[in-house]
Amino acid sequence: MNHVILLVDDEPAALRGMLRNLHAKSLDFVTVTSAAEAIDRLEHQRIDVVVSDERMPGMSGHELLEIVAKRWPATVRIMLTGETDAEVVRRAINQGHVHQFLLKPCVTATLMSAMSAALQRIDLERAARELLRAAHARQEPPTSVDAVDGPASDGAWHLEPPAAGINELIHSMQTATSKAVQTPSMTKLEVAVEGWRTIVDLMDDVVCLIDRDGRVTRVNRAFEGWGLGELKGALGRAAHEVFHGTCAASDCELACWIQNVVLNRDGGVARTFFDPVLKRRIRLRQSPASAGPAKKKDPRWLLVLRDVTSDHELREESVRLQAQLAQSQKLEAIGRLAAGVAHEINTPAQFVRDNLEFLETGAESLREAAKLHQALLAAVQDGTAQGALAAAQKEALAKLDVDFVLREVVNAAAEGLEGIRRIANIVRALKEFSHPGGGEIGKIDLRRSIESTVTVARNEWKYVARVETILDPDLPEIDGFAGELNQVFLNLLVNAAHAIGEKSQGTAGVSGLIRIRARRDGDSVEIRFEDDGAGIPEAIRRKVFEPFFTTKPMGKGTGQGLALARNMIIGKHQGSIDFQSKVGEGTTFILRLPIAAATENAAAPTAVDSADSPTSVTGSLPIPSGL
């Protein structure tokens, strides 16, 4: 029975495009254009995998997948969407419980890899159910597995495992396996060998045994699954010939590796490379298959070839998604700051306008005064000047307030220039902050980067705190990614402002202090973001760097900021980030960045696992993504 894949997308052209690329696969595809149709199909047909878009009329993709998770838990759920918004990812994971989250445009190989992984999982679960059925068919009393082959009244497919503990389950599976393969004439050793042969034949990896001459003596059924020919055709032939045919390339990596294995050289260690003949990215491993005296007399080796093409593509997709997520979070932050930035621009724009208007009216007054002076000069030259004329001119000059104009025109010009400078600073800071960076590392002026971030975020902190920067005048430039560091600085600055705001709720005026320090420390630069806010409670300190963890109310935080900050500092800059906090007194985040880049590790974002320490992570650890 073929596996059934349900494709859900409100765009028929998208469904047709997917089907064109997937038509050659040995799978049954069902397509619907709405969540309601998908639910109806699930109620009347057994579906193995649901691949759903997010934005659809009526019910959204994550709402559909949430229903699928509750009613059909055995159905694997994949989201394929063009939505890169962090909220969409959060809902898909937390509500839809998706197994894979893929972004459009998605290459067919990536989609197929995700579905293959899902189907492999389903096959393993079905195999486990078959073993349970076989085990309990031989035991009394039978346990309840009646719902394995059909849907319950609610349309869902259920498996009710026995109430026994895990040890009994394992024992039952072992018993079922042995009874399934044993015949009266088989010894215990033969039963064990047959059991292992069955297990090895179920593997996706190609496993073969070679002798001292490098010839294949045994190979599992994955050999046929890879399209390399029949099993019997491989036996007795040279391993390289079995996999590469008549390949005569002098630099063939597979041939060199097999030769090194046979000659017991160090080159026989595990390695990964793209094989142009097999058209796969493969990982090769070997292990001696002989022990004791036979190891010298009749040496044999076990070779394992694993297809890691999809793993490699998924890693690349993960890196791409992580980069998009980081940029999305940056743009989200800019959107959040947009109103504040507009306000910061409007204020100097207002007094620039006012001063220009003053200069315009002042120029008119000076022009009128000049006309009066010219008239008086002409009268003097003609000898017609009289005291009455001088008195009239004095009165007119008083009305024009020329003295005030002359006194303030310089100030007006200076303030107008200051307003323009402030606007230019804000625009430049916003441009520098929002610049997506590039794939290449560059020199970063940390002083300018920090000052730009403070300027962009001014409206976030100016109502609750003062910002004080103490930056070493000799602070060196560092190698790094300016856009990513700007995002980190913004996250820490905004978090500090929010922490102070929470502590000072109900307090009028500016009550807090944010202090940013930067200094050189040997071959690194240390940057501290200090605040006198509420501090971080002990109970949640281990979680602050976890993706999607946030203490802010719904709509106020996405839980990405600190995780992305950690990923950028450690994964891309090989630095470290930790924090010190006292409840009620404040928090200090401490960043350490190397001055010279470890360029071999800094070319792309790196996925990083959660650190064991709740308050400290360094570049020696791997990382995740935001708060």
**Residue 535 sits in a domain of what CATH number?**
3.30.565.10
Q: What are the two backbone dihedrals, phi and then psi, of residue 55, each rounded to the nearest 5 degrees?
A: -90, 110
462 and 568 share one domain: yes
424 and 445 share one domain: no
What's 571's DSSP letter?
Answer: I
**Which one, of 450, 443, 435, 441, lies nearest residue 591 by Cα?**
450
592 and 551 share one domain: yes
**507: in domain:** yes
Query: pLDDT at residue 406 above 80?
Result: yes
Contact call for residues 570 and 608 (beta carbons, < 8 A): yes
Per-residue pLDDT band at 340 (split at 50, 70, 90): low
Whichever domain contains 40, its CATH number is 3.40.50.2300
**338: in domain:** no
* Range 23-51 burial, b when 16+ CB lie within 10 A, else e: eeeebebbbbbbbeebbebbeeeebbbbb
Residue 68, pLDDT score: 92
Single-letter residue type at 112:
M
Residue 605, pLDDT score: 43
Percentage of residues of the chain with pLDDT beyond 70 = 70
Long-range contacts of 234-238 (CB under 8 A, 24+ apart): 234/208, 238/213, 238/214
Token pair in block for residue 48: 């193995």
Among 94, 124, 154, residue at a domain's last position: 124
Residue 115, pLDDT score: 85
224 and 302 share one domain: yes
Among 376, 407, 428, residue at a domain's last position: 428
Contact call for residues 531 and 587 (beta carbons, < 8 A): yes
Q: Please give the helix or strand (H or E) that residue 122 lies within, else none.
A: helix 108-137
Poorest-confidence range of 37-51, 241-255, 531-545? 241-255
Query: pLDDT at residue 516 above 90?
Result: yes
In the chain, what are the helix, strand and coil shares in percent, each to the nearest 5?
50, 15, 35
Query: pLDDT at residue 236 above 70?
Result: yes
Residue 47's alpha-carbon distances to 16, 51, 66, 146, 151, in angstroms, are 19, 11, 15, 19, 12
**313: in domain:** no
Contact call for residues 143 and 168 (beta carbons, < 8 A): no
Residue 146, pLDDT score: 41
Residue 594, pLDDT score: 93
Per-residue pLDDT band at 11 (split at 50, 70, 90): confident
Per-residue pLDDT band at 136 (split at 50, 70, 90): low
Contact call for residues 35 and 56 (beta carbons, < 8 A): yes
Q: Which residue has the higher pLDDT, 511 or 292?
A: 511
Cα–Cα distance between 271 and 253 in angstroms, integer?
A: 10
**330: in domain:** no
Give the dihedral of Cα atoms 191, 193, 199, 203; nearest 10 deg.
Answer: -160
Percentage of residues of the chain with pLDDT beyond 90 = 14
Average pLDDT over the chain, rounded to an integer: 75
**436: in domain:** no
Token pair in block for residue 510: 């500016």
Mean pLDDT, range 315-325, rounded to an integer: 69
369 and 447 share one domain: no
Taking only the tens place, the pLDDT of each residue in 198-221 is: 777 777 888 888 888 888 888 888
Per-residue pLDDT band at 290 (split at 50, 70, 90): low
Poorest-confidence range of 10-14, 358-362, 570-574? 10-14
Query: pLDDT at residue 591 above 50?
Result: yes
Residue 467, pLDDT score: 94
Query: pLDDT at residue 546 above 50?
Result: yes
410 and 480 share one domain: no
Single-letter residue type at 342:
A
Residue 506, pLDDT score: 54
**142: in domain:** no
Mean pLDDT, range 368-391, rounded to an integer: 75
**153: in domain:** no
Cα–Cα distance between 96 and 362 in angstroms, integer?
A: 67
476 and 593 share one domain: yes
Q: How many Å separate Cα 199 from the centre of its chain?
A: 36
Residue 517, pLDDT score: 95
Domains held by the chain: number? 4
Its domain, for residue 107, covers: 4-124
302 and 358 share one domain: no
Contact call for residues 467 and 490 (beta carbons, < 8 A): no
- Beta-strand pair 271-275/301-307: unpaired
Cα–Cα distance between 243 and 224 in angstroms, integer?
A: 11
Whichever domain contains 272, its CATH number is 3.30.450.20
**463: in domain:** yes
Per-residue pLDDT band at 188 (split at 50, 70, 90): low
- Beta-strand pair 478-480/512-521: unpaired
420 and 449 share one domain: no
Bond from prior residue into 141 cis (ω within 30 degrees of 0): yes
Q: What's the distance, Cα to Cα, between the start and end of the chain in Å?
A: 46
541 and 454 share one domain: yes
Q: What are the two backbone dihedrals, phi and then psi, of residue 390, each rounded to the nearest 5 degrees?
A: -60, -40
Token pair in block for residue 31: 């397509």
pTM equals 0.43
- 3-class state of residue 578 by DSSP: strand
Contact call for residues 129 and 148 (beta carbons, < 8 A): yes
Residue 225, pLDDT score: 81
Residue 362, pLDDT score: 81
Q: What is the CA radius of gyration of the chain?
A: 36
577 and 469 share one domain: yes
Among 105, 124, 143, residue at a domain's last position: 124
Residue 618, pLDDT score: 39
What's 600's DSSP letter?
Answer: T
Q: How many Å separate Cα 405 from the centre of its chain?
A: 60
Cα–Cα distance between 390 and 383 in angstroms, integer?
A: 13
- Mean pLDDT is highest, among 64-78, 98-112, 279-293, 557-571, for 64-78
Residue 43, pLDDT score: 93
3-state DSSP of 176-239 = HHHHHHCCCCCCHHHHHHHHHHHHHHCCCCEEEEECCCCEEEEECCHHHHCCCCCHHHHCCCEH
41 and 82 share one domain: yes
Poorest-confidence range of 249-258, 528-537, 580-589? 249-258
Residue 293, pLDDT score: 62
